[in-house]
Amino acid sequence: MRRVNDESVNLIIDFREQTSGIVEELESLDSEYTFRVEQLQTGDYWIGDHIIIERKTVNDFMVSIKTGRIFQQGYRMAESGKNCLIILEGYKADLEICEMSRQAIQGAMIHLTLFLGIPVIRSMNIHETASLLIHICSQYQRQELPRPKLILHGLPAIRLTRKQRQKLFLLQNLPGIGTKKGLALLRSFGTIENILNSSPDDLRKVKGIGQRLAARIFAVFHEPF
């Protein structure tokens, strides 16, 4: 697998993963696919525009359960509206020596897989993780992914059409706009055009959009380049 600086790559890797050994493993594997390294806001790996993958060693996974960090990460991934996956890397012996009850581990797995819709798959080591990433790239090229449910923290899961997701994705790139506020804007105004043509006072009528945020949104659309 080749590392390139081209924008059109198959795999994007978060820069913090460079110390894991995964980059070197990918470079050693024969593959037609390419990757680049940059800073990602969510997850450790992005494949195309539709897949977010978080890699956890067994020890890191246990620590993140104790601190609750795994659930914060899980909700951020689920709220992205993309297909998400967690790769749990390590050997069975690593699980057996950890100071955590089996029930706590199972409870975390249940919440991630059943309620957030994020599958967790096992990998023995970084070599197998690298191979999994290439396999996922390969299948992604050949098959259409099912549309995931959109999870909003504290709200039920909803399904969006492809066009609705495209509109939401555009809004999520605005300053201060996440999934919830993006949905609120679309539900209030109906179309991107209506949002674009709205005054700051109109934008402020949407729940979660305050005076400063309304002004920032308006400025993005109306201030000269």
- The tens-digit pLDDT sequence of the chain (225 residues) is 999 988 789 999 999 999 999 999 999 999 999 999 999 989 999 998 889 999 999 999 998 988 888 988 998 888 787 899 999 999 877 776 777 778 888 888 988 998 888 999 999 999 999 999 999 999 998 887 776 766 666 555 666 666 777 677 777 767 788 778 888 898 899 888 888 889 999 999 998 899 999 998 888 877 775
Say what the pLDDT of residue 225 is: 57
Residue 39: phi, psi to the nearest 5?
-85, 125
136/127 Cα distance (integer angstroms): 14
The domains spanning 2-142 and 160-222 adopt the same CATH topology: no
Residue 32: its pLDDT value, please?
92
Q: What is the dihedral sign for C-alpha 15, 37, 169, 197?
A: positive
Distances from the Cα of 158 to the Cα of 24, 71, 81, 155, 196, angstroms:
39, 19, 10, 9, 25
Class level of CATH domain 160-222? mainly alpha
Closest-CA residue to 157 (of 112, 115, 108): 115
Give the pLDDT of residue 88: 96
Q: Exposed, middle or buried by CB within 10 Å (0-12, 13-18, 19+), for 16?
A: exposed
pLDDT at position 158? 63
pLDDT score of 92: 75
d(CA 8, CA 52): 17
Cα(90)–Cα(62) distance, integer angstroms: 12
Asked if 29 contacts 1 with a C-beta cutoff of 8 angstroms, the reply is: yes
Which CATH code is given to the segment(s) 2-142?
A: 3.40.50.10130
Pairwise CA distance, residues 44 & 114, whole Å: 22
C-beta of residue 59 within 8 angstroms of C-beta of residue 27: no
pLDDT value of position 126? 96
CA distance 65 to 67: 6
Cα-Cα-Cα-Cα torsion 200, 201, 202, 203, nearest 10 degrees, comes to 50
Domain boundaries, given as residue ranges, for the chain = 2-142, 160-222
pLDDT for 91 equals: 84
Residue 54 — φ and ψ, nearest 5°? -110, 125
Closest C-alpha to 122, from 148, 96, 85, 97: 85
